A and B are shown apart, each in its own frame.
Chain A
């Protein structure tokens, strides 16, 4: 056979063999890497799902060590550290990530956002604020950064800045932040009221109503301002509007409302309003208020009769306690001793009870807060309805 022909036919055969060998070698090498990575990743994930965060951190640290380009792994680790309260480690990790050369802009801004959250968690609010401001200026993750900034300003009680950033957030996301902004104006109005700047307080309240026309807190603050100015009849109207706006806040509104009724000598109007309330509101507060009104006007007997009738329809520990207090003077001897024990018992029962609960996070409170101390959402703390509470 011609030697050249043999050579020419050998070259493509060798080519195919070389190509096949290279592919086999490459596939084996990348396969080994992928399987090592994915098995570690799934092991870490498994630990996370089993709430074994210590072991998950160990696995992810190892993963990040031999695969230094895995930014997501670093971010996941940072999150884990922060959630475990190891904020200093989370900060170091995110700082290292931010300073890493060759990181894409998108990843760098994610790392900056995470670093800001670390600073917030560590209480370094000034550093967090600077970072979030930079992110907003860069228009990177601006909605998240704005939300964090609003949280910082709320914490610092810098309501003007909180309003400014909430408005920017509204424009950016299209979400309605008006109820939150109305609360900020109410905070400003309350502060002005406490400092005696009544005109300023009224101006803030007007702006709160502009944001949310049915803002209960703004109605209540208006009522309080009017009441302090001696305009009790107008205060009554404001308090009644507050109840019309959100009936759930009745236990909070009734005491100042009853005071304004009494000072403006409109007790007949009070009776009509409370009777209407009893029909609409299923708590015990209007019943107790009306019983008190009957006691003042018609005497103890009328109040006891009214309370007894109402308690059959809506059993309540608070109502029972009021009934015991009302009947205590009429009882003597052994029955009185028994009633005293019963009164102490009901008092202790009420003392241990949370009267309010956040409708968003379930936080229980004995007193009313406009902002939930746990989840920081506004106007979500409401009276608990039940035998032992409202």
Chain B
């Protein structure tokens, strides 16, 4: 399973490099405050990576905040009625 994942990852990296090389021509972006000129392939990969990282970060933050809330609630309950072993 792990070997398959590594092979798939290598294939995607190779595809990314080939994709970048094939689309090396520059494209201009006007962001309002600044103007950027990036290769087409890099822009595509960048969009995918930024989106993936943002999604991961959102999920991680959601889980950690929920756990924090639960711990605070538990400690309040412990103070009210301490556990007698």
Contact = CB atoms under 8 A, between A and B. Distances in A.
Interface of A: 3-4, 6-7, 10-23, 26, 72, 75-76, 78-79, 104-107, 109-110, 114, 140-141
Which of B43, B49, B50, B51 has the largest number of chain A CB atoms within 10 A?
Answer: B51
B47 to A, nearest CB: 5
Interface in B66-85: 75, 78-79, 82-85
Interface of B: 27, 29, 40, 43-44, 47-60, 63, 75, 78-79, 82-85
Nearest to B53: A18
A17 B52 contact: yes
A109 B53 contact: no
Given A11-B47, A26-B63, A104-B78, A18 B40 contact: no
Nearest to A77: B85
Given A3-B27, A104-B78, A19 B59 contact: yes
B47 A18 contact: no
A18 B54 contact: yes
Q: Is the interface of B mostly helix, strand, loop or mixed?
A: helix
Nearest to B54: A15
Contacts of A109: 82
Given A14-B50, A18-B51, 5 more contacts: A7-B44, A11-B51, A14-B55, A18-B59, A22-B59
Given A7-B43, A20-B55, A26 B60 contact: yes
A6 B50 CA distance: 14
A6 B49 CA distance: 14
A99 B79 CA distance: 18
DSSP majority for the A interface?
helix
Contact of A110 (B51, B53, B83): B83
A106 B56 contact: no
Contacts of B49: 14
A154 to B, nearest CB: 23
Contacts, number: 91
21 contacts: A3-B43, A7-B43, A14-B47, A14-B55, A15-B55, A16-B55, A18-B53, A19-B58, A20-B59, A21-B52, A21-B55, A21-B56, A22-B55, A22-B56, A22-B60, A78-B85, A105-B79, A106-B78, A106-B82, A106-B83, A107-B82
Contacts of B44: 6-7, 10
Contacts of A79: 85
A14 B52 contact: yes
B69 to A, nearest CB: 16
Contacts of B84: 110, 141
Given A105-B79, A107-B78, A18 B85 contact: no
B79 A17 contact: no
Contacts of B54: 11, 15, 18
Contacts of A141: 82, 84
Given A7-B47, A11-B47, A17 B85 contact: no
B82 A11 contact: no
B52 A15 contact: yes
A107 B56 contact: no
Nearest to A7: B47
Given A19-B58, A106-B78, A72 B50 contact: no
Nearest to B23: A3
A286 to B, nearest CB: 48
A12 B51 contact: yes
